Amino acid sequence: MELTKDEETKLIQAAMQVRKNAYAPYSNYQVGAALMTEDGKIFTGVNVENSSYPISMCAERSAIFTAVGTGETHFKAIVIATTNGGPPCGGCRQVMSEFSDQMIVITVDETGAVRMHGPVYEILPGAFGPKNLE
């Protein structure tokens, strides 16, 4: 999938901005995500921690689930903003692959510097997906 420089910049800015709203009182690792649909709509999400750790929610899944709730299921790219540009967890990679192994995944650090840039299939090779259930 092609992502223009303007689209990438817009997503980076959105992810960095929404990151400020993350609820991370335990890890202090705030994450913001900005997801772009194939038709250019942007959905954002943040990580929301819980004192019962397993029920916390990652920013990436938050953005994707919000988009799906509006009927969107075709995604072009996602930007994940963290302090250090950390990669998405395995669960988030699996959710991304459910919708498109071609979706571009970009991580940026707190300065906006790109740390990772590539399609889902590169960060989750051999993913289990809908085709495996046929």
Structure-block tokens of residue 116: 């990772």
Structure-block tokens of residue 120: 């889902």
Catalytic positions are 60
How many CB atoms are closer than 10 A to CB 6? 8
Cα dihedral sign, 9-71-31-117 = negative
Residue for token pair 């997801």: 35
Length of the chain, in residues: 134
**Cα–Cα distance for residue pair 15/79, rounded to 1 Å:** 6
**DSSP 8-state class, residue 87:** P
